[in-house]
A and B are shown apart, each in its own frame.
Chain A
Amino acid sequence: MNSYLRSHLIQLENEAIYVIREIAAQFERPVLLFSGGKDSIVMAHLARKAFYPGKIPFPFLHIDTGHNFPETLAFRDRLMKKLEAQLLVGYVQDSIDKGRVVEETGPNASRNGLQTVTLLDTLTEYKFEAALGGARRDEEKARAKERFFSHRDAFGQWDPKNQRPELWNLYNGRKLPNEHFRVFPLSNWTELDVWQYIYNEKIELPSLYFSHQREVIKRDGTLLAVTDIVRPQAGEMVESKIVRFRTIGDMTCTGAVESRASNMEEIIQEVASARVTERGGRADDKRSEAAMEDRKRQGYF
């Protein structure tokens, strides 16, 4: 009678699939936000499972800062083909060209914050009502209070003091016109859960996640890859190191970690014994104590 038990990963998968199906059922125009990172790759995998043997009944949306690692984009396109999914891309460059945003200047200039405007503009353009994301509550303390169905007002803003209560597995997706929802099926997963799930399910990942030799500079305690976008400043030394990335975002703010973990088993070992959160490598969170909360209020992912 042990068949009455399910492991924690199966339970998390069941929950995520349930939430993804709720989105397809409750909204006419949902979209899956795809960053190319491992969480959104897991989301794509779960969406595939949720509607099998049918196809995923909503498109994917990638907000391209123009500062993505080329590996991410190549991987993205391959995956979309495999899933037979429709991919939409919102370009931050377009928002800059239209004068919707002004690009930061200086050596630490990042387009990370600008993404928010492009994202909201794209959601409005396509009239998307619900945007699925791979964010998890364990990532950052402002996210610990996030709902599965996170309500956003007509300006795309999150009001942490006025969130809808979420009880049992009853998700209220009713909304006024112009409002939308962000939905987070992986809310209850931890970084280790995600890695174990990727391992169990044999999910393919971009090569950036595995250790490789790369030229990096150390800036504000973060190891950044030297690319066309991130160039060494005076006094910064370019070193060649064996590194990998724990999260994959914009090249200007995604830090590498020194690591020799070159396969899934080694990565899980490393994650299990890590002493720094995966966002610890992200320069954008260090800007202030409430950095993440501020960005979320404005409509960040």
Chain B
Amino acid sequence: MMTNPNATTPQEKVDLLEDVSRPGVKAGVDLLRFTTAGSVDDGKSTLIGRLLYDSKAIFEDQLEAVERASETRGDEHVDLALLMDGLRAEREQKITIDVAYRYFATPKRKFIIADTPGHIQYTRNMVTGASTAELAIILIDARKGVVTQSRRHGFLATLLQIPHLMVAINKMDLVDYKQDVYNQIMADYKDFASKLSVQDIVFIPISALHGDNVVEKSYKMPWYDGPTLLHHLEHVNVGASRNLVDFRFPVQYVIRPNQDFRGFAGQVASGRVAVGEEVVVLPSGLQSKVKSIVTYESEPDEAIIGDSVVLTLEDEIDISRGDMIVRTRNLPQKSGQLDATLCWMSETPMNRQGAYWLQHTTRLVKTLISELNYKIDVDTMHREPTDSLALNEIGRVQLTTTQPIFYDRYQINRNTGSFILIDPYTNNTVAAGMIRGQSRQISDLIDIQAKVESDTMRKKSTDVVWESIGISREMRESKNGHKAAVLWFTGLSGSGKSTVAKKVEQFLFDRGGRTMFLDGDNVRHGLNGDLGFSEHDRQENIRRVAEVARLGFEHGNIVLCSFISPFQADRDFARSLLPQGRFFEVFVKCDIEVCKRRDPKGLYARALKGEIKNFTGISSPYEEPANPEIVFETDLHSTEEIVAQIMSILQAREII
């Protein structure tokens, strides 16, 4: 029988209780939903059995039931996998055929596991499990290495935009805990993963059967210095995939107990909203302000993604289920033509002629599949032409809905970018969809082509010599849909300036923003390659950067500059080049001891040894900004939270 050295003691559970006994906002026990995928015999059930057992989520009577069952079957060992396989058919065939949900908790976190089967015919189950997961564990048998199914799991996990991947290389005991086996598999998988847009991936060598690196660090693999599997689950940043910026509130239900109260019940799909904010109701387009946010206990000032609340508005507006409340200055896309990825989940193949119900947020509309571009072979990721999609096939389609829907791209908003298709005759859910954007019809392209041609003709025929008409910044801004600005990130080396600035840039870029990124690495090689680190040269460095930023600004860009720029005078110079309200001094605060520990480029270590002179924070001062527009502390808050904070400031200042 397995030993259970890591069972949570009652004392630890009491801490858990006290933590949650303060209802409402707190950072204590949070929730991680993850999914597990593996081929038959990769040891997935054993791994989950191990996690549940070691975290004390398995009880004696459950264990006894499994012992009884193993005995009846004449198995030699008590088979922990039997704990996982709930349905009779599965127990008979010893395979998992449907998504099963498991629960366990440690003093740090509660976990919900969507345990999905790994056989080829059950892609639909993996997609189901992945739809709500924030992390995917992909199990690889160390003896077999990366097989087709391991690739498929990775592909599906990224297709569904699971932010964290964990590749657990299992059965290390059967390859004598050899490092080169682990290294080879890791290299193979990384090679494959480079073709996917994986946001975060870790590799952990384990033996689920013996518990190596599952809960306890394994002394059999001293060459591995990363976290154990459970440690990673407990510490991975939850909420990384949440969209904290774009407020979307699909109305679920109207609450009207009497003539004086009209409330709109729903769950905040993304972003946040506060009392007093200007909102617009879609599709009517009527505007109002949030009068109150109502819950049973209280009327909070704000609600964030995930909160189930009731909103009331200042004005009497007719609103019903399926409408969406959003901020006036942050609108979703609206279209009846959708470009989407579909995963077909029904035994009945896609009917190209028929209509389907499309359920998106709380809205239900009819849709036709106007075009089927291709299907994707989930094993090779190759695109193939096709006439239809069958069970477990994934394809790209163009949909035409009877009424427009309000959406965001799935990549930036899982809640408003996802939908299901329902067969109107059987009422079964037949497909899961992820919106890529608005469909572009061939006719749109032809129109553009025709316009270009006619413009050229006209110019030629009238003999007008082309000259610059001087595109102003305002014209660029109006075309871009946002204003130009310079965000100047200043802070110590290692404080996280570039990390945050790049995330902000990515965020803006994903929403169609025009951006430009400048940091020491990309200017010191070329533009400022002639400069050293003397006081004069450092000043000149900043001057040139500020001028380049101004050029970018005049061309309508949101320019992100990431420089230590320790002196207030230099930063004030940059500010002086720009109109008021367009320069944002962003103070990236971080304790110097934390910066030293992070030391991404090993510079602190060298400066402390005296190898680098004039190093800010060690041998040269840093002047903290006196009145920065934005301040945040990277040692206290996650990058996602900081990005959200910056976005809300840019919104408030009407830049975006």
**A residues with CB within 8 A of B:** 1-15, 17-18, 21-22, 24-25, 48-55, 137-138, 141-145, 160-161, 163-170, 172, 174-176, 187-188, 190, 192-193, 196, 199-201, 265, 268-269, 272-277, 279-280, 289-290, 293
Q: Please tell me if the beta carbons of B98 and A5 are within 8 angstroms of each other in the complex.
A: no
In this assembly, does B99 line the interface, its C-beta being within 8 Å of a C-beta of chain A? yes
Which of A18, A54, A174, A276 has a CB less than 8 Å from the CB of B256? A54
Which of A55, A172, A176, A199 has a CB less than 8 Å from the CB of B429? A172
26 sampled A-B residue pairs with Cβ under 8 A? A1-B637, A1-B642, A1-B644, A1-B645, A2-B25, A2-B27, A4-B239, A6-B307, A8-B109, A11-B30, A22-B252, A24-B253, A52-B295, A54-B257, A142-B86, A144-B86, A145-B99, A161-B89, A161-B98, A190-B110, A269-B13, A272-B14, A272-B17, A276-B61, A289-B68, A289-B91
Which of A6, A50, A167, A268 has a CB less than 8 Å from the CB of B432? A167
Q: How many pairs of residues, A versus B, come closer than 8 Å at their CB atoms?
A: 225
Complex interface: chain B residues within 8 A of A188 (CB): 101, 103, 112
Complex interface: chain A residues within 8 A of B14 (CB): 269, 272
**Chain B nearest CB, measured from A267 CB (Å):** 11
Q: Please tell me if the beta carbons of B88 and A168 are within 8 angstroms of each other in the complex.
A: no
Q: Please tell me if the beta carbons of A9 and B20 are within 8 angstroms of each other in the complex.
A: yes
Complex interface: chain B residues within 8 A of A200 (CB): 20-21, 23
Q: Please tell me if the beta carbons of B26 and A172 are within 8 angstroms of each other in the complex.
A: no
Q: Please tell me if the beta carbons of B103 and A170 are within 8 angstroms of each other in the complex.
A: no
Q: Please tell me if the beta carbons of B26 and A53 are within 8 angstroms of each other in the complex.
A: no
Task: Tell me the nearest residue of chain B to A292, going by C-beta.
Answer: B86
Complex interface: chain A residues within 8 A of B72 (CB): 289
3 cross-chain pairs, A with B, having the tightest CB-CB distances, nearest first = A272-B13, A141-B86, A174-B427
Which of A21, A160, A187, A265 has a CB less than 8 Å from the CB of B265? A21
**Chain A nearest CB, measured from B462 CB (Å):** 56
Q: Please tell me if the beta carbons of B103 and A293 are within 8 angstroms of each other in the complex.
A: no
**Chain A nearest CB, measured from B344 CB (Å):** 11
Q: Please tell me if the beta carbons of A170 and B17 are within 8 angstroms of each other in the complex.
A: no
Q: Please tell me if the beta carbons of A7 and B304 are within 8 angstroms of each other in the complex.
A: no
Q: Please tell me if the beta carbons of A196 and B17 are within 8 angstroms of each other in the complex.
A: yes
18 additional A-B residue pairs with CB within 8 Å, beyond A6-B30, A25-B321, A50-B308: A1-B642, A8-B109, A48-B296, A49-B296, A138-B103, A144-B86, A144-B100, A161-B89, A165-B125, A165-B429, A167-B429, A172-B427, A175-B427, A196-B17, A265-B17, A273-B10, A280-B61, A289-B72
Complex interface: chain A residues within 8 A of B74 (CB): none
Stretch at the interface among B223-231, B417-425, B440-448, B587-595: B417-425
Q: Please tell me if the beta carbons of B127 and A167 are within 8 angstroms of each other in the complex.
A: yes
Given known contacts A14-B306, A21-B252, A170-B359, A199 and B17 CB-to-CB distance under 8 angstroms: yes
Give Cα distance in the complex from A154 to B267, angstroms: 32
Give Cα distance in the complex from A20 to B524, angstroms: 59
Q: Please tell me if the beta carbons of A53 and B420 are within 8 angstroms of each other in the complex.
A: no
Complex interface: chain B residues within 8 A of A268 (CB): 13, 17
Q: Please tell me if the beta carbons of B306 and A165 are within 8 angstroms of each other in the complex.
A: no
Q: Is the interface of B mostly helix, strand, loop or mixed?
A: mixed
Give Cα distance in the complex from A243 to B302, angstroms: 45
Complex interface: chain B residues within 8 A of A273 (CB): 10, 13
In this assembly, does B483 line the interface, its C-beta being within 8 Å of a C-beta of chain A? no
Given known contacts A6-B25, A188-B101, A145 and B645 CB-to-CB distance under 8 angstroms: no
Task: Tell me the nearest residue of chain A to B100, going by C-beta.
Answer: A144
Complex interface: chain A residues within 8 A of B103 (CB): 137-138, 188, 190
Task: Tell me the nearest residue of chain B to A49, going by C-beta.
Answer: B296
**Chain B nearest CB, measured from A43 CB (Å):** 14
Q: Please tell me if the beta carbons of B256 and A4 are within 8 angstroms of each other in the complex.
A: no
Complex interface: chain A residues within 8 A of B131 (CB): 167-168
Q: Please tell me if the beta carbons of A165 and B128 are within 8 angstroms of each other in the complex.
A: yes
Q: Please tell me if the beta carbons of B267 and A18 are within 8 angstroms of each other in the complex.
A: yes
Interface string of B103-140 (1 = CB under 8 A from A): 10100011010000000000011011001100000000
Q: Please tell me if the beta carbons of B427 and A289 are within 8 angstroms of each other in the complex.
A: no
Complex interface: chain A residues within 8 A of B295 (CB): 49, 52
Interface string of B632-656 (1 = CB under 8 A from A): 0000010001101100000000000
Task: Tell me the nearest residue of chain A to B359, going by C-beta.
Answer: A170
Q: Please tell me if the beta carbons of A199 and B59 are within 8 angstroms of each other in the complex.
A: no
In this assembly, does B261 line the interface, its C-beta being within 8 Å of a C-beta of chain A? yes
Give Cα distance in the complex from A201 to B125, angstroms: 36
**Chain A nearest CB, measured from B410 CB (Å):** 10
Q: Please tell me if the beta carbons of A166 and B17 are within 8 angstroms of each other in the complex.
A: no
In this assembly, does B597 line the interface, its C-beta being within 8 Å of a C-beta of chain A? no
**Chain A nearest CB, measured from B455 CB (Å):** 45
Q: Please tell me if the beta carbons of A199 and B641 are within 8 angstroms of each other in the complex.
A: no
Q: Please tell me if the beta carbons of A7 and B296 are within 8 angstroms of each other in the complex.
A: no
Complex interface: chain A residues within 8 A of B19 (CB): 7
Q: Please tell me if the beta carbons of B28 and A51 are within 8 angstroms of each other in the complex.
A: no
For chain B, residues 295 to 315, give those with C-beta under 8 angstroms from any C-beta of chain A: 295-296, 302, 304, 306-308, 310
Give Cα distance in the complex from A175 to B425, angstroms: 9
In this assembly, does B449 line the interface, its C-beta being within 8 Å of a C-beta of chain A? no
Give Cα distance in the complex from A299 to B85, angstroms: 21
Q: Please tell me if the beta carbons of B357 and A174 are within 8 angstroms of each other in the complex.
A: yes
**Residue in A145, A166, A275 with the greatest tally of chain B CB atoms within 10 Å:** A145
Which of A49, A174, A196, A276 has a CB less than 8 Å from the CB of B59? A276
In this assembly, does B202 line the interface, its C-beta being within 8 Å of a C-beta of chain A? no
Given known contacts A21-B252, A141-B83, A276-B59, A289 and B101 CB-to-CB distance under 8 angstroms: no
In this assembly, does B415 line the interface, its C-beta being within 8 Å of a C-beta of chain A? yes
For chain B, residues 226 to 283, give those with C-beta under 8 angstroms from any C-beta of chain A: 239, 242, 244, 252-253, 255-257, 261, 263, 265-267
**Chain A nearest CB, measured from B293 CB (Å):** 12
Task: Tell me the nearest residue of chain A to B305, going by C-beta.
Answer: A4
Complex interface: chain B residues within 8 A of A201 (CB): 23
**Chain A nearest CB, measured from B363 CB (Å):** 10
**Chain A nearest CB, measured from B595 CB (Å):** 20
**Chain A nearest CB, measured from B159 CB (Å):** 13
Complex interface: chain B residues within 8 A of A196 (CB): 17, 20-21
**Chain A nearest CB, measured from B604 CB (Å):** 27
Give Cα distance in the complex from A163 to B101, angstroms: 14
